[in-house]
Amino acid sequence: MLSWAEGEPWLSQRRGLVVSLYVLPVLTLGLLAFARSLGLPTATWVAPFMAELVVVSMARKEAERVFAAVSSTQGAFLRYGPMFELLEQLSLSSALLADLRKGLVASEVAPSAAMRRFERIVGWFDLRHSGLIHPLANAFLLWDAHCLLRLEAWQRGAGRHARGWFRALGEVEALSAFAGLAFDEPSFAWPEIVEGPACFEARELGHPLLPAVNRVRNDVVLAEPGRALLVTGSNMSGKSTLLRAMGAAAVLALAGAPVCAGRLRLSPLVIRTSLKISDSLARGVSHFYAEVSRLKGVLDATAEREPVLFLLDEILHGTNSEERQIGARWILAELLQRGAIGAVSTHDIGLCRLPGELMARVEQFHFRESVENGKMTFDYRLRPGPVRGGNALRLMRLVGLPVPLEGPADDQVAYSRPPRPTSS
C-alpha cells in the first residue's frame, strides 16, 4: 500500500488517455441514444465504443495492480483513521508531541479526511466484485480507468505523506505505552542519559517483569570504558535474571522510558547480548556454533560509533572446560581492550582466575543459596567476590536422584548399581 502511495502515477501522465476517459463515454452513449431514437445504423456508435475497449485494455494491467495494492490492505489502513483524527484534535503542550503532530498536518489535507476520501474511491473500485454490472460499466463508462484516475489524484495529494503519518503515529503510540508504564509503576525511575565515555550505573536495579513483592534489587556499577562484572553462582541463584535486568533497563532507558531501578545513569550504548541461544536442525547449526556466531556479532559491534554494552550468559558452555576458559578469557579481554562494558555470568569458577592486567578491569560478584530443612532457598542478593561452590549435585538429590555429593576415589567404586535382571 505505501509502496504504491509513494510511487509515480501511471494514467495521469498520459494526457491523451485522460482526455479519452471523458470524451469517449459521452460520445458512445450519445450516439447510441441518437441511433436508437432516430433509427441510425449501429455503426454510428460502434466506432467510439471500440475505442473505449482499447482504452480498457490499455488500463487493465495498471488498474488490476493498483486495485490489488489498495484493496488487500484497505481494511487495516482505514482502521487507523479514528486514531489520526484523535491526534489531530488533541491539545498538546509537549514540544515533542507538538512536533509529531506537525507531521500529521503537513499535507494539504488532514490524514483523517484523506482516509475518508480514500475509502470512498476504493468503494467505487469495489464494483469490480459485481460480475453483472462491472463489465457493462467498465465497457461503456471506463469505470476502472476513472477509479484509477481518482486514486492517482489521491496518491499525488496525500499518498506521499502517508508513511510520515504512520511514523508519527508509531512514535506517539510508543510514547503512550511509556506513559502507561510510568503511571502503572510509580516506583520506576527516569534514567539520566549522559554524553561521554561509556558508563552504566544502576542503584536498586530490578527486573521489570517480576512482581514487585518478589523483586530483589541490586546495585550495578560500570563507571568507565573497559570495565566488566564477572558474576558467578549456583543454578537458579539469579545470574541470568541480573543480566536481563541490565539489558531491559538499558533498552528502556535509551528508548525514553522509565526503568525498574531507584536510579540509572548511562551513556548512549550499543546493546549486544548472548543470553538465549538455541540450535537449529533446519539450518544444521549446533548450539555451540550458534553461540560462537553470536559472540562474533558482539565483537563486531565494537567497531560502531557508540560503545558496546555486552551481556554474556554462561559463555561458551558448549565445549570442554579447558577450551572454554581459553576462549572466554580471550573474548572478555578483546571486549575490554576495545572499550566495551558489560557483564558475564558463568558456573565455571576457573574463569575467575584471570591474568592480573585483565583482572584489574573485572569486578567479581556472586549469588549464593542456603539449605534449610532439606529445602534450597535463594535471597538473590549480589555479593562481592567469587562463589565458593555449586549446587548442581544438591539439586539433583532434591528432585530424587541419589547422586553422591562427593566424587569417588580413584581406587574405589562409589556408585551402587541395581542388580541386572536374569532370564528364567
Q: Is position 50 within any domain?
A: yes
Span 320-345, average pLDDT: 86
Domain boundary among 157, 181, 205: 181
Residue 7 sits in the same domain as residue 119: yes
The better pLDDT of the pair 303, 277 is held by 303
What digits encode the pLDDT tens for the residues 34-81? 887 877 777 778 888 899 899 989 988 988 888 888 876 667 778 888
Percent of the chain with pLDDT over 70: 84
| 406: Cα separation from own chain's centroid | 47
What digits encode the pLDDT tens for the residues 107-124? 667 888 888 888 888 888
Rounded distance between C-alpha atoms, residue 314 and residue 46, angstroms = 81
Query: According to the model, what pLDDT value does residue 410 have?
Result: 46
Residue 159 sits in the same domain as residue 198: no
Rounded distance between C-alpha atoms, residue 385 and residue 231, angstroms = 9
In this structure, what DSSP letter does residue 159 have?
A: G
Query: According to the model, what pLDDT value does residue 45 have?
Result: 83
Residue 67 sits in the same domain as residue 200: no
| Range(s) of the domain holding residue 294 | 186-398
Q: Is position 315 within any domain?
A: yes
Residue 288 sits in the same domain as residue 151: no
User: 292, 315, 304, 288: which is closest to 228 by C-alpha?
Assistant: 315
Residue 393 sits in the same domain as residue 344: yes
Cα dihedral sign, 103-106-112-114:
negative
Residue 126 sits in the same domain as residue 244: no
What digits encode the pLDDT tens for the residues 315-328? 876 666 777 778 88
Place of cell 556479532: 297
What digits encode the pLDDT tens for the residues 247-298? 999 999 999 999 999 999 999 999 999 887 665 566 655 666 677 888 888 9
Domain boundary among 165, 181, 197: 181
The better pLDDT of the pair 4, 181 is held by 181
Domain boundary among 155, 181, 207: 181
Residue 121 sits in the same domain as residue 206: no
Residue 170 sits in the same domain as residue 74: yes
Q: Is position 405 within any domain?
A: no
Residue 348 sits in the same domain as residue 389: yes
End-to-end CA distance of the chain: 77
Residue 120 sits in the same domain as residue 159: yes
Q: Is position 410 within any domain?
A: no
Query: According to the model, what pLDDT value does residue 202 have?
Result: 97
Q: Is position 305 within any domain?
A: yes
Instruction: Name the domain count of the chain.
Output: 2
Residue 340 sits in the same domain as residue 363: yes
- Number of Cβ atoms within 10 Å of the Cβ of 372: 7
Residue 306 sits in the same domain as residue 353: yes
For the cut 70, the answer to whether the pLDDT of residue 139 exceeds it is: yes
Q: Is position 403 within any domain?
A: no
CATH number at residue 265: 3.40.50.300
pTM for this structure?
Answer: 0.72
What digits encode the pLDDT tens for the residues 151-196? 999 888 888 888 888 888 888 889 899 999 999 999 999 999 999 9
- Number of Cβ atoms within 10 Å of the Cβ of 357: 10
Q: Is position 306 within any domain?
A: yes
Out of 113-122, 142-151, 301-310, 347-356, which region has the weakest mean confidence (pLDDT)? 347-356
